[in-house]
Amino acid sequence: MKYCNVCGAPLGDNKNFCPECGSKISMTNNMEQQPMNKPTKKKGKRALWIILAIIAVIIIAGYVFYAKMMNYIESSYSDVEGFYYCGSEAKTYNKDDCSVTVWLSYNGDFSFEAKDIIVRGKYIVEPEDKDDTFGKYYLLNMKAESRFVNYELITDEYETQYELAITSDLNEAVLINTQTYNMYYCTRN
């Protein structure tokens, strides 16, 4: 059997042109020949599809990881957000008889107000894994953006950390400064 010199396709008898590539067939070479390795586009396309599939899997895995992390972070912030009316005794506090008011937002803003102190800034919440029937525990890493003491602006940087324990009914909490060990019993709204 004869094969095309250009693309290697098999040629039928009495053909003047290749049925695959349309090249003119030389009649001077009537001997049998081996088919040429014709360049295939299939191998290149297959490799391209494999690469695209791998990229798609990486993108999807990254998105799933990101979504799970964002859900974890958002659920931690939504668990702690709210107003806390606090004092130094273990009792139920309201807005009028508390010595400390703490506000934690779902987007990481906080406000801490005591008798002559106002601190506002950002916080990062980290859930703690403790085996306790009291409720849920969190670490609050707080960084002040503004701080007033006796109505004077204090400009030095201030960072602190609190441990927040929220009862399982979510109505009460205990707030402990991990550096000074000041403890506040809080009613949560």
Domain boundaries, given as residue ranges, for the chain: 1-39, 41-79, 81-188
Which of 103, 101, 104 has the alpha carbon at shortest distance from 117? Answer: 101
Instruction: Give the best-scoring range by mean pLDDT among 49-58, 60-69, 70-79, 167-176.
Output: 49-58
Q: Are 180 and 189 within 8 A, CB to CB?
A: no
CA 10 to chain centre: 58
Residue 72: its H or E element: helix 41-80
Least confident of 28-42, 136-150, 159-173: 28-42
Q: pLDDT tens digits for 5-50?
A: 777 788 777 667 787 888 877 765 444 555 555 555 566 788 888 8
pTM: 0.55
CA 60 to chain centre: 13
Assigned CATH topology for domain 81-188: Lipocalin (2.40.128)
**Which residues make Cβ contacts (< 8 Å) with residue 7, sequence separation at least 6?**
18, 20, 21, 23, 36, 38
Please indicate whether residue 31 or residue 169 has the higher confidence score (pLDDT): 169
What pLDDT does 44 receive?
73
Residue 168 pLDDT grade (very low, low, confident, very high; cuts 50, 70, 90): confident
Q: pLDDT tens digits for 6-15?
A: 777 887 776 6
Least confident of 67-71, 82-86, 132-136, 141-145: 67-71
